[in-house]
Chains A and B, each alone.
Chain A
Amino acid sequence: MSDNDHILHIGRISGSRLHLQTMLDQVVESAEKQLGADACALLLLDESKQTLTLKSSHGLWRSAVDAVRLPRGKGVSWRIVREKRPAALARAKDDPDFHFVPESGEESYTSMLGVPIIEEDECIGVIYVQSKKETRYSDEDISRLEKISRQVAGAIKAAWDMDRIKEKARVYTKLNGSSRLINATNDIEEIVRITANVASELIGAKVKAVWVADIDEKLKVKHFSESGSDPELLRPVCETVVTLATVSRETVNVADISADTRFEGLDIIAAVSVVCCPMIFEEQVVGAIVLADRITESPNYFVAFTSEEIHILAAIAQTAAQAVDRARTHQQLEEALEKNEQNVRELSILFQLSMAMRRTLNLEDLLRVILSCVTVGRGLGFNRAILFLVDESAGLLRGMIGMGPDSAEHAGRIWNDLEEQPPEDLVPWLLDHDIFEVKNSQFNRLARSLKFPVAGADIGAIISKVIGQKVAVNIEGAGDLEQSDMELLSAIGCERFAMAPLVVRDTALGAILVDNLYNSNPISGADMELLTRFAAPAAWAIENMKLFEKWVAESEERLDLEKQMVRVERMSTLGEVYAELAHELKNPLVSIGGFARRLISTLKGDKTSLKYASIIAGEVDRLETLLRNVLDLSKDVSIKRQENDLNFVVRDAVDFYSRILSGHGIKTHMDLDPDIDKVLIDAAWIKQVVINLILNAMEAMSCERHQALRNLSFTTQSRGSGVTLRISDTGGGIADEDFHKIFNPFFTTKSQGTGLGLSLCKKMVQLHHGSIEIDNKLGHGVTFTINLPGAPGISS
């Protein structure tokens, strides 16, 4: 075969799409023949450019292929690589750089010719021929081998390109598959796991880690695996690189961290490569993937991650970012749905509570419904609950009602019953069914016996917080309790409970205490939120109910008043009957009394008969007065108001009784305002009022006890737009129990009298649009104050 034939052969070989190894083997065999050598070998630099590996040979031991690895150094091969020039050695061992490569069978050869394999101005390997006998290689030989080298270089490059394309195809197939895998789940943990696996399958690295941002947007490590000896050694390196990548939002690729100032202070001695790709979706950093300590074929050398690998990692990061974002959106959606469900539940409870408000007519029922909502599973679902209300007057927080099973067995029974008959409309059902048998419940009795101070030195820390600061508390164990809370704790007998204030207009009117004594469920943040939210409308409902009860009480009072009014009306109707009756009674009375008086004047000597006749006359007199008063009170009195001087009216009345008054030892004092305004009054009626008051005073002062001091004083004065008359006596006052009744018709403490006097006085003064007041000083006397309005247009 001619040279050209050989070269064509090699060209054919290298142009054919054979496997790289087959091609190299053929080229080596062909080159040996072309140059008439005894052996031929081809070494290629590995990707780290630190090792020359024997890839093919003809004449050397077969076992040497891939086993002979020449680390960068002084040898002839490396010199060729370095200098990119051929080396023709007639006696190889004469060259100081030459060393036999052990375990290759090289010792049997004497001469050698090596040329670099150059592709795109870069040396990628060495091809050389060897002969047993000493051979001086001609320039022709050299150029021949160089020609072969050039051709093989193109072939190697083509094969490498093919390999690279194949590898890319593999990677993209893998990426595609993993992307589908990653996107098939909404579980972030699962996404992280798949991402880490895919990355380590496609790129060899000892450490693979994935960071993912949580809801608080802080990156947290979700996956960290290391195939090396010390799993935690590279962790700080990864953390640093994650920070660098997520801040810069760019891939950070470091060939050797020990030579990089950004990793100073991490106490890393070894040369380690690291790469980190941030996971960015819609400009949001959702995480980061880190690979560190790239696995190389030459264990003694470290290699940086290639740009190819970084692209792959970026693609994985992109896919993972999307997946994480989608998963997070899904999670948020689920949370929103759950929240919505909770809102619906809340709304339903609140709606039912408001329904209950309309249906319940007393506070006790309302409290029962509120606690039912708190304890029933379809409501807030706490095991037990106590409702407290603040008793302001006593400064105490009092337990009003407790709801909950008395024992675990009781709890089971109740909840079973509830499951069996799920009520459609919860609240009405609760109203009709006393599920916890509150009336007979020990727990309710316990709750109702509870009372705690809400102010002062004895106040417990929890109660101070709940009632004073109006804050809900969740006690998760005895550690949350202070000494001052021990009373509360021992009362309820459960270390984990929660208490929420019932607040209305910034005032705590009570609190709800809940616990899960029987199922020991922890009280979650969501439970607390619901309890607090529920407490607000509950508090208002209680407040409204309190107002309603107050209103009812007031209405009842009003109703009483109305009854009185009706009675008064009836009385005025009756009054007409009385008037009729009185007329009919009057005539017989006049006859009886008249004839009795006649008897008195005729029965001169018979003292006994005289006495009897006097009694008859006296009693008739009393009956006549009674009748007159009844008629005056019952009929519509019309008054004729004329301009009058009150002083004159008072003096007239007092003069009329002056003899009688002095006869009873009563001294009268007149302090009448000489400049008193004129008033429009019916003088006759006002005089009657004054007379009635004089008679009252006289009666009061005539008993034995008041012998020493019997003063009756009259004072008049102008008062703004009217005039005032005060009549004060020293009759000892009116007993408290009688005081409020004195204006009632027929009320009297006197042995003599009709009891109509004061009520008549009141009626008269009221007809004058005036008022009558009493200042009662028990043990001293009574002052009546009569205010009469002034006459419009009349000036003093």
Chain B
Amino acid sequence: MNKKRILIVDDEENIRLLYSEELKDAGYEVDMAKDAKEAQKKIDIQKPDLITLDIRMPGIDGIEFLRRFREHDKTTPVVLCTAYSDYKQDFRIWASEAYVVKSSNLEPLKNTIREVLEKSARQSEPE
């Protein structure tokens, strides 16, 4: 069974490193991008199974990136990561599959990723 490929989009290098270490430990294949531009390039080269997307980023922020991404990809799940729950009420995040508040405890993130991928797999099975 192929390892699921996750693209981590975050402007913080340490966060990218932490997430990639954790997610690799959890059995995923990990790719990383430091901003929206790089993320788009990576996606263009190889489409990931799931994207973790930081909202606050220099340049194009996560929400704007999500909007553009959804214009030509309706299916790839995106988990939004943010420092705080400010964006809960922002309807624009509805385009994402999940919303995770960043924490040093990465269990909620890993649980969410697993759930989203399982759901995605179920939805694509009939095809």
Contacts and interface: CB of A to CB of B under 8 A. Distances in A.
A binds B: yes
Nearest to B13: A591
Nearest to B84: A631
Interface in B77-92: 83-84, 86, 89
B18 A591 contact: yes
Nearest to A623: B104
B42 to A, nearest CB: 21
B117 to A, nearest CB: 21
Contacts of B14: 587-588, 591, 595
A199 B103 CA distance: 128
Contact of A591 (B15, B56, B86, B105): B15
Interface string A387-429: 0000000000000000000000000000000000000000000
A617 B107 CA distance: 14
Main secondary structure on A side of the interface with B: helix
A593 interface: yes
Contacts of A592: 104
A617 B56 CA distance: 24
Q: Indicate the member of B17, B18, B86, B89 with the most A CB atoms within 10 Å.
A: B18
13 contacts: A583-B56, A586-B83, A586-B84, A590-B102, A591-B12, A593-B103, A594-B15, A594-B18, A597-B104, A598-B21, A620-B104, A621-B105, A640-B89
B127 to A, nearest CB: 36
Sorted nearest first, the 8 A-B pairs with minimum C-beta distance are A593-B104, A586-B83, A591-B14, A594-B18, A594-B104, A587-B12, A583-B83, A590-B104
Contacts, number: 59
B95 interface: no
A590 B84 contact: no
A617 B83 CA distance: 17
Nearest to A684: B88
Contacts of A451: none
A171 B53 CA distance: 139
A589 interface: yes
Interface string A605-624: 00000000000010011001
Taking residues whose C-beta sits less than 8 angstroms from the other chain, chain B's interface range is 10 to 19
B122 to A, nearest CB: 28
B43 to A, nearest CB: 23
A588 B104 CA distance: 9
A587 B102 contact: yes
Nearest to B17: A591
Given A586-B83, A588-B14, A591-B12, A624 B103 contact: yes
B104 A638 contact: no
Interface string B55-72: 010000000000000000
A628 B12 CA distance: 20
A19 interface: no
B24 to A, nearest CB: 11
Interface string A565-583: 0000000000000010011
Contacts of B102: 586-587, 590
Nearest to B10: A587
A133 interface: no
Contacts of B15: 587, 590-591, 594
A628 B102 CA distance: 11
A597 B12 contact: no
